[in-house]
């Protein structure tokens, strides 16, 4: 993590932040943009006076920057309070907009989605508002395409497919383009939770493989409070929060500091993604970290698909059989290594990750699985030290185990 104290030795205390899938450190330029908005550009962007319109101009410039990162048109970008609200608006808003009165729409999804999708689906299913179909998973957490083809073909009611582009716990990348082709062939709308994709991986060229995309700027070095819903032209979304802002699609005064920071962070992400070798180098760092952990700690398991190209360059999910993830996380934190046990939203839970269990990972491994997530600034030295500290913490826990 940038800005940590100088090391006195290879294992001296220094914060090594490996929880970037939870949130990233705002870049200096993004933080400066948020500060400028809070101190100078604090006027309401909906006001017609000169000060308000100066703020409006900056908001729209930020929208253009985010649209460039998403390879989209600025008018199709809707700002929200965060990724969770964007997902709620995408799913409820789109399904409500396409569903005739009295009909029950179908949501097609998976059991390994982020809680923002998974728990919303469960709640709406219990309320009797949606019919929910869940796609089967194959090895490594990838959607079984043969079963998906059968399930999508059988859908009769208005429907929306919601699949995470890249999983927040394991980094598994779903075959979004193939799934989207199956869905669109049946008139099914496609939503992707791209929270972990955007800013780390380039957007595809040509026709996008989705109708609705959601993400959050604090995952790519913006500040918290700026979520994005990208709705393809022609896709109607019924607002959940009513108001005149965002062309009537999402009411509420805009969070200008977070939006301006998102625009700056988007520009920086575009520049970083322009050089493909940078992502390849980061992938090498992840692989080297996993190799070192495997060398230092016996019988660990990397929870991953069989092919490297099927997961993000920045995410490593490692299982430590018969250990408790929370205990290991506390020991690591005491030594300055910050990681996560699954999604940050589920921290504090003593239950194993439902994502890992749905992937078929044995409970004794899922209970002891940690997620280490890098950013584009993570260094080889940090990962080497983290692996050494991790091995020491595992050994300490195993020494305290009975038998």
pLDDT tens-digit readout, 136-163: 998 889 999 999 999 999 998 899 999 9
Question: Tens of pLDDT along 278-314?
Answer: 999 999 999 999 999 999 998 999 999 988 899 999 9
We find that the CATH architecture of domain 28-272 is 3-Layer(aba) Sandwich (3.40)
Tens digits of residue pLDDT in 235-278 = 999 999 999 999 999 999 999 999 999 999 999 999 999 999 99
Name residues whose C-beta falls within 8 Å of residue 49's C-beta, 6 or more positions apart in sequence.
Answer: 43
Q: 214 pairs with which residues across the strands?
A: 193, 229
Delimiting residues of CATH 3.40.640.10 domain(s) in the chain: 28-272
CA distances from 173 to 141, 201, 312, 376 (A): 9, 11, 7, 19
pLDDT band for 350, please (50, 70, 90 cuts): low
- Does residue 199 contact residue 70 with C-beta atoms inside 8 Å? no
- Helices 276-296, 380-400: axis angle to 10 degrees equals 30
Can 345 be counted among the known catalytic residues? yes
Query: Residues of CATH 3.90.1150.10 domain(s) within the chain?
Result: 276-400
Q: Which DSSP state fits 353?
A: P
Q: Assess whether pLDDT exceeds 60 at residue 208.
A: yes
Report which of 278, 112, 315 is spatially closest to residue 202, judged by C-alpha positions: 278
Model-level pTM?
0.93
71, 283, 345, 393: the active-site residue: 345
CATH placement of domain 276-400: 3.90.1150.10
Instruction: Extract the runs of DSSP E, i.e. beta strands, from 251-357.
Output: 301-302, 315-319, 337-338
For 112-129, write each residue's pLDDT tens digit. Answer: 999 999 999 999 999 999
Q: Is the pLDDT of residue 5 over 50?
A: no
User: What secondary structure letter does DSSP report for 189?
Assistant: E
How many helices and strands, by DSSP H and E, does the chain display?
Answer: 13, 12
Burial pattern 378-398, b for ≥16 Cβ within 10 A else e, equals beeebbbbbbbbbbbbbeebe
Share of the chain above pLDDT 90, in %: 86
Q: Higher-confidence residue: 403 or 223?
A: 223
């Amino acid at each position: 993590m940038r800005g940590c104290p100088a090391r006195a030795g290879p294992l001296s205390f220094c914060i090594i932040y490996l929880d970037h899938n939870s949130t990233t450190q705002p870049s200096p330029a993004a933080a400066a943009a948020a500060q400028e908005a809070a101190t100078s550009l604090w006027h309401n962007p909906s006001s017609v006076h000169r000060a308000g319109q100066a703020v409006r101009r900056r908001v729209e410039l930020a929208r253009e920057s985010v649209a460039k990162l998403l390879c989209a048109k600025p008018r199709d970008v809707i700002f929200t309070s965060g990724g969770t609200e964007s997902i709620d608006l995408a799913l409820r808003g789109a399904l409500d907009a396409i569903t005739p009165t009295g009909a029950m729409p179908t949501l097609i999804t998976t059991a390994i989605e982020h809680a923002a999708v998974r728990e919303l689906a469960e709640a709406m299913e219990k309320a009797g508002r949606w019919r929910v179909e869940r796609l089967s998973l194959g090895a490594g957490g990838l959607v079984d395409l043969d079963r998906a083809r059968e399930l999508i073909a059988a859908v009769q009611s208005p429907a929306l497919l919601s699949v995470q582009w890249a999983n927040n716990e394991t980094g598994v990348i779903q075959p979004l383009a193939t799934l989207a082709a199956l869905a669109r062939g049946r008139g099914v709308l496609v939503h992707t939770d791209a929270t972990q994709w955007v800013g780390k991986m380039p957007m595809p060229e040509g026709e996008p493989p989705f109708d609705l995309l959601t993400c959050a700027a604090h995952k790519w070095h913006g500040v918290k409070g700026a979520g994005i819903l990208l709705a393809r032209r022609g896709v109607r979304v019924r607002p959940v929060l009513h108001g005149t802002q965002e062309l009537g699609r999402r009411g509420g005064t805009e969070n200008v500091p977070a939006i301006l920071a998102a625009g700056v962070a988007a520009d920086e992400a575009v520049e970083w993604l322009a050089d493909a070798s940078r992502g390849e180098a980061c992938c090498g760092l992840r692989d080297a970290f996993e190799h070192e952990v495997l060398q230092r700690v016996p019988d660990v398991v990397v929870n991953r698909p069989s092919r490297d190209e099927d997961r993000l360059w920045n995410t490593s999910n490692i299982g430590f059989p018969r250990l408790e993830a929370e205990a290991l996380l506390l020991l690591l934190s005491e030594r300055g290594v910050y990681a996560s046990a699954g999604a940050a939203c589920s921290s504090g839970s003593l239950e194993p990750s439902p994502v890992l269990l749905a992937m078929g990972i044995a409970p004794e491994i899922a209970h002891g699985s940690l997620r280490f997530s890098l950013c584009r600034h993570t260094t080889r030295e940090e990962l080497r030290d983290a692996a050494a500290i991790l091995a020491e913490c595992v050994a300490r826990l195993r020494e305290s185990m009975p038998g």
